[in-house]
Structure 1
Amino acid sequence: MTEALTVDQPAAKRHVPERPPLLAIGVLIWLGSDLMFFSGLFATYFTLRAHAPVWPPLGTHLDLVQAGIFSIILIASSPTYQLGVWAIERGDRKKAKAWLIVSFLMGAAFIGNTLYEWHDFLSKGYAPHTNAYWSLFFVMTGVHGLHVVLGLVAMLFLLGRMSGLKGDPGETNVYQAVGYYWHFVDFMWIGIFSCLFLLKTG
């Protein structure tokens, strides 16, 4: 009789949320409005570029190699962060924290290079008031850099939240939400880098 009851008892099922977390929805809505803001920057860029016979203006010297290296570093931080997302979804908090630190260091290196480039260009006489190109350069890289810094701050708070030996129920959701933001920031840089360093006329 006991064996029969054991056989007939349904197996326990893993609970799967029917709806995405509210935090993820909020972040995606925010990124949607942020996308419109960046779209305005790109529209301004292409409008000014369309009316310029030579772009960038003559005498503009950019270090494409250095900018390219740190761009690769930033873009590579997106897959490293995703590895952390997959790790925490499996319950491997140790690997998740390790990948989070790696992604943070890569983003910090990118910001360090951005500040170095700003200092180098300003010391050579290139400033936001020099011409339209440099106005866009400082605005676009500055706005994007601010977004990267915000992402780094979010990672620091996330690391602080994960400092305990046991995670809390919302830890995975926060990790995923920061990931959405970080992927967005990396994707935006691909467009900005292409506009400022690769697209040339004249």
Structure 2
Amino acid sequence: MPMCHQPGAWSRKSAVVQAISIDRGVEPAGLQRGRPSLLAVGTIVWLGSELMFFSGLFASYFTIRAHNVGIWPPPSTPLGFKDTVQSGAFTWVLLMSSVTMQKAYWNEEHGLRRAARWWVALSLAMGGAFLANQIVEWFSLGFTPHANAFASLFFLMTGLHGLHVTIGLVAMAGLLGRMVGPGGDPGELPVFQSITFYWHFVDVVWIALYACLFLLK
């Protein structure tokens, strides 16, 4: 007779162990598989709000452009072939940094920490190069935000994107600093994933910005 109650006893014991694990903040392995972390879900929700913010900027840009009579961009704010090519080259650099950041995450996911560190460092360097080019470009274009509506939107949109790039670079630098130490924090992978999501978002937004500001004339 006692044997008949063993399955139920084991089931109750398993449930108790899972409840204790969750209460301590550690999910059992069976519950972790195929399920994104709460941090990743929160990051996706936050990026959704950021997407709405940039969508508002794009809507403002196209509204002002639609009501503009004459050449766009105005002659007082020329973006020449050199500017387009230079920004295009660094757009490619930013896109490659997204690829390297994803490779860093995959390496970290498989326990290859040394390789992951190198990929993060490369992503950080490429993102820094992109931001440095943006700053140089702002000072070499030959017009200011007060020149006209296009100039105001150009500096506003690229400036806000540059701020997001800076935030991403700071996050990557902090992540790299944590990875330099021996061993690894088991709770670090969700942070790694969230930073990777954010960096992909920054890249996608820039592609849209580059197309609007440099290509669609």
- Listed one character per residue, the Cα deviations across residues 72-102 of structure 1 (whole Å, up to 9, x for unaligned) are 1011111111111110111000111100000
How high is the TM-score relative to the length of structure 1?
0.88
Tell me the amino acid that sits aligned with residue 160 of structure 1: G
What is the distance in 2 between the residues matched to 1:67 and 1:168? 38
- Tell whether the 8 Å contact from 1:128 to 1:135 is kept in structure 2 after alignment: yes
**Which is helix-richer, 1 or 2?**
2
What is the distance in 1 between the residues matched to 2:100 and 2:30? 28
Provide the residue aligned with 1:93 in structure 2: 113
Provide the residue aligned with 1:24 in structure 2: 40
What is the distance in 1 between the residues matched to 2:31 and 2:106? 16
Give 1:169-184 correspondences, 5 Å limit.
169-184=186-201
Partner SS for 1:162: helix
- Tell whether the 8 Å contact from 1:162 to 1:171 is kept in structure 2 after alignment: no
**CA drift at 1:60:** 3.1
1:80 equivalent to 2:103? Answer no
Q: How many residues align?
A: 184
How high is the TM-score relative to the length of structure 2?
0.82
Seq. identity, %: 55
Partner SS for 2:146: coil
Tell me the amino acid that sits aligned with residue 83 of structure 1: K
- Listed one character per residue, the Cα deviations across residues 12-46 of structure 1 (whole Å, up to 9, x for unaligned) are xx746153111111111110110110000000010
> What root-mean-square deviation, in Å, do the aligned CA atoms of Structure 1 and Structure 2 show?
1.2
Match of 2:208 among 163, 181, 191: 191
What is the distance in 1 between the residues matched to 2:216 and 2:95? 19
- By relative contact order (CA 8 Å, sep 6+), the higher-ranking structure is 1
Give 1:115-134 correspondences, 5 Å limit.
115-121=135-141, 124=142, 126-134=143-151
**CA drift at 1:61:** 2.6
In structure 1, the gaps of 5 or more residues are 1-13
Partner SS for 2:90: helix
What is the distance in 2 between the residues matched to 1:158 and 1:133? 37
